[in-house]
Amino acid sequence: MGPEIISILVLVVMFVIATTMPVNLGALALVGAFGVGMLVLGLDAEQVMLGVPDGDEITGGFPGDLFVLLVGLTYMFALATANGTVDLLVHASMRLVRGRVALVPWVFFFLTTGLSAIGALFAVAIVAPLAMPFARRHGISLLLMGMMVVHGALGGAFSPISVYGAFVNETMVGNGLPSSPATLFLTPLLINIVIGAVIYVVLGGWGLRGRRAVIAANGPAEDGVAENAGGGPAPDGAGGATTVVAAPPAVGREQVVTLVGLLVLAVGAVSGLDVGVLSVTIAVVLRLLAPRRPDVVAQVSWSTVLLICGVITYVGVLTAAGTIEFVSSGITAIGAPLLAALLLCYLGGVLSAFASSVAILGVAIPLALPFLQQGDVSAVGMVAALAVAATVVDVSPFSTNGALVLANAPADVDRDRFYRQMLAYAGIVVVAGPLLAWAVLVLPGLL
């Protein structure tokens, strides 16, 4: 059995274990990288970690630049959450509805879009606890609200300063592919807005017109609902329902510096500065600004850092084993670029419904590399299609975002019924999402 087949079998085993057992795929990938690299390819530990010389370049190795990027972004956002800057953004966004219940799903959509775009890996975890009780109290479909929150997060997931966007752009540049951060950001955003508009109409959002709620800021009751003058919950309905948004902290030096830091990060990313170094620098400045505040290093998304860095290290071993070229030649042998591109989109979409989207992208882009280098399809369009196909299915209750929505469903909701609704919607997205991405981003370039 050749090293290509062995490395593929190890990859399949890793995904199966990570999907069925509580083991981080990144940790499995590091073990797999050392196992395949040292036992099958005859590499030493230093070559697995630092890469294998390939002419004038180094192939594979642990992605130190991505490590700095991921730690910097997640550390900076954890500090922004701890010092109340995120609360300020949430409060300002909620007040935009001015009592119009019909606009609330879109407010939560764009709130998660904004949070995701500035680097919040778990924007859904921040917004879903606010959105789901609001939907329950005001008669908004929970499926509508939950999916608007998820699609909003996916819409902002590929901004140049987000983890996903920076990761994919770095992967493209590192593999010699043309990269367009603006295209990669805007195409998933527009596609998710269109999907949001469809589910908004289909799931009853249009019927919410004319209903109003009062956004209060005088301190929430335990269930998040304001109390009326008589001491009981404010009444539901078009005229008197009151939903409390907890008063944000006073705007002080920390919050101002944090907002300026986010602006500097956005400008720096557009200007071509290293996002990882910039985000770490901003995080250190924020930390020095409030040394007495408890540190939030523990809140850095270490599991995601391990996941991405581990998978990329294993991809380096796949490259050294010739697996990337082996699989890509099989795809190219199909002889029909459109069909090959469609199969890649469905492969990414179906696997991502049960596994990590960023891990799937980390494997799918290198696998598609020789196919993309032929020039039959646009590299930017194909990678954008893969990005959409691999993330739009995150509405699945098996994915992190879908699971967060399900977990934040109010206690009095039939969770089994809600789970089945989410599963049915996820099935539709798994079937239609990759096809939509392919039709919009790949097909026009070949017609």
Residue 123, H or E segment: helix 123-137
pLDDT value for 238:
38
Contact status, residue 69 vs residue 348, Cβ threshold 8 Å: no
Count other C-beta atoms under 10 Å from residue 246's C-beta.
15
Residue 186's pLDDT is: 92
CA distance 115 to 74: 12
Q: What is the DSSP letter of 203?
A: T
Question: Would you state the structure tokens that stand for residue 111, as one six-digit string?
Answer: 């709130």
| pLDDT for the residue 40 | 93
What are the DSSP E strand ranges found in 227-361? 241-244
Q: Quick one: pLDDT at residue 113?
A: 92
Task: For residue 242, list its beta bridge partners.
Answer: 214
pLDDT at position 333, please? 73
Q: Which residues of the chain have pLDDT under 50?
A: 218-245
Q: Tell me the residue type at 378.
A: S
